Structures are given as structure tokens and as C-alpha cells.
Amino acid sequence: MSPYTNDNYIVNFTSSDNPVGSSVHANDAGGGSLTLNNSITRTGVRAANWVISSYEEMPPGGSGDWINAQTVTWLTTEESMYENLYFYDWISQSQYYPWQIGNNRDNPTSPKMPIALTPGTQTSWPTTMSNLFCNANYSDFNWIGHSSSQRIGGGPWEIPSWNYVTTMLDGLDVTSWLLSSGKNWKMRKVGMWGCYTARSANYQSWIRTFVVSTNQMKKMMGKNGGIFFNGEVLPGYYGGDMKDCISEVAEEFDQIWVMGANPYPGGCNPNYSLNFAYNITEGIFPEIQDADPVIAGCPYLPYAGVYDDQLMQLDFHQVIQ
């Protein structure tokens, strides 16, 4: 079928008890018909744009020093990728042209990503995150740190005073910030690299917070998606030598989604899907399966924003799945 070009369309369904071509088919009293006026939801999901990246610092000493160093290294590497995407960026590996991914995918250098949640920043961190979520120019969000079905930040202990960082962010607050930014409130892509982010508690979950619909493959609507986890996400013990950090896993996932399977200057493929990125990442870090990952929303969502009109009309022919 040709893609729909109008926002509204009519669906007519007719049923019959008798096969087409029979003598009674034309006047079949046992059949029925149904006519519906449907619409394509073109608002709601933010246009492909900048990326919010934030993580939580672990207590220093022992493995905490290693985790913190690894997180800074890999998230800084990822941020360098997001700041240098286009052909005119002198250290760009991808050298994208705007017509390939859209005009506004380079991350701004201020505020500098990633945003760290530490004992020294925890007072200002909620305000910083609120300002970022309320800015509709940010379409993606990545988090690495402590989490539950309802909150990120804080720590694994039930008594907050025991935690290295006590500040937490509630998903209901995030929802209120997103709604305040106007019609295009839904984040396009989310990576929640923390424990139990796919679970629901008290009718709340991060999938619901970011308004990621679970039946997007059947509806004509703006597409978004993300990776969430039903189980415990360990900070380390990934890869063949079991020495890699979760931040490296997250960076690999985003690099494949953004750059394609075989990137080289001027020749990367911007239309690899979230599902494809996860499958390759799992092959490199098979231990991530133990955390029971969930690709929610549209599994065929690509990094390139130039296909979004086609995607909302259920046209995925541009996407390498």
C-alpha cells in the first residue's frame, strides 16, 4: 500500500457468512459492516535532536574507583561522538550530512555532558535535570546509576542516610517536566541502564514515565523507544574477560545505533534499529541477558530522524532491522 499522506483516513470493514461469488453474497443478511474514522498521531514525540546523559558516582575506594573511572571514560567517549557527527566537524568519524540524520543532532558543548550526580552536585542536580527535560530540543536520555521502578539516584539501601548520594529523582516529576514543554513531550529514545527500570510499582514505571507505547508496531503514530531492565544491572563483569563496566556496554549500544555496524568516515549507516543495536551489543557482552533487558516501544527505531514521517505511517523499509 502507498503511505497515507493525510492525518485522517477512513477504515471500512465488511463481513459475510457466505463466500465471495456465491449467489447470496450480495444480499447476505448474516454479514455486517463497520466504518471508522481514524487519525495519524503526528504530535507527541520530540523531533530527533540533542541527548541528555547523566550518571551516578559510586562511593570511592575498592571497586568504586574503578567504576567511576570507567564511567567517565566511556560516557566522555560517547559524548565526543554526539558532539562531532557532521562532515564539517574536524574530528568527526561519521561525517554525516544533515540530510542523512537531520540538522540538529550535534550535542551542544554547554551544559557539558555527562551530568554527574555526586555528593557535591546532588543539591543542584534535580534543577539541572528539570531544565534539560523541559527543553524540547533534547530528544534522548541516557542514565547509568542506581534505580528502581520509580526513582533514579540515591542508592541500594533502604535507609537514605547510609547512601553515598541521597538525592533521588522520581519518575512522576520527570513526567510533569516533560508535559510542561508543550505538545512534543515524549522523549524519542531512552536508555535506562539501571536495576528494575522495566518493572511497574504503584502503576509507575520508567516505560510509562517516558510514555513509550508498547503497541507502536500496530499504530500510526510518532515512534519512540528505549532499553530498560526487569532485573539487577551489575556495574561490572561484562565481556569475555569479565572486566568491562556497564558504561562500556551502554556506549557500545549507542555507538552501533548512531554509527551503524561498520562505520567509517563518510560511509556509516544511520538507519540501524534499536533492536539491531541490542542484538550486536548482546553478542559482545552476553552477560547483559542476566539483567532481563526489554526493548520497549518501536524496535525498528533508527538514529536518523529523517525517516520519522515514514515510521509513523508504519513504513520501515529504510530501516536495517
Q: In angstroms, rounded to a whole number, what is the distance separating the alpha carbons of residues 296 and 215?
A: 9
- Cα 72 versus chain centre, distance: 21
| Look-up of cell digits 567504576 | 67
- Cα 263 versus chain centre, distance: 21
Q: In angstroms, rounded to a whole number, what is the distance separating the alpha carbons of residues 246 and 236?
A: 6
Domain boundaries, the chain: 8-39, 50-312
φ, ψ (nearest 5 deg) of residue 219: -125, 145
Grid cell listed for 174: 520527570
Q: Do residues 223 and 297 lie in contact, with contact meaning Cβ atoms separated by under 8 Å? A: yes
Q: In angstroms, rounded to a whole number, what is the distance separating the alpha carbons of residues 153 and 169?
A: 6
| Look-up of cell digits 547523566 | 54
φ, ψ (nearest 5 deg) of residue 311: -60, -40
Neighbours of 3 (CB within 10 A): 12
**Is residue 219 packed enough to be buried (19+ CB in 10 Å), middle (13-18) or exposed (0-12)?**
middle
Q: Do residues 228 and 198 lie in contact, with contact meaning Cβ atoms separated by under 8 Å? A: yes
Pick the CATH number of 50-312 from 2.70.170, 1.20.120, 3.40.50, 1.20.1090: 3.40.50
Grid cell listed for 63: 571497586
Please give the chain's pLDDT, 321 residues, in tens. 455 667 677 778 777 766 656 665 555 556 677 887 766 666 689 999 999 999 999 999 888 999 999 999 999 999 999 999 999 998 888 889 999 999 999 999 999 999 999 999 999 999 999 999 999 999 999 999 999 999 999 987 666 677 899 999 999 999 999 988 777 889 999 999 999 999 987 777 899 899 888 789 988 889 999 999 999 999 999 987 768 999 999 999 999 999 988 777 777 888 999 999 999 999 999 999 999 999 999 999 999 999 999 999 899 999 988
Long-range Cβ pairs for the range 171-174 (8 Å, 24+)? 171/204, 171/205, 171/206, 171/208, 171/209, 172/204, 172/209, 173/126, 173/130, 174/129, 174/133, 174/209, 174/210
- Cα 50 versus chain centre, distance: 12
Q: In angstroms, rounded to a whole number, what is the distance separating the alpha carbons of residues 256 and 277?
A: 5
- pTM, two decimals, is 0.87
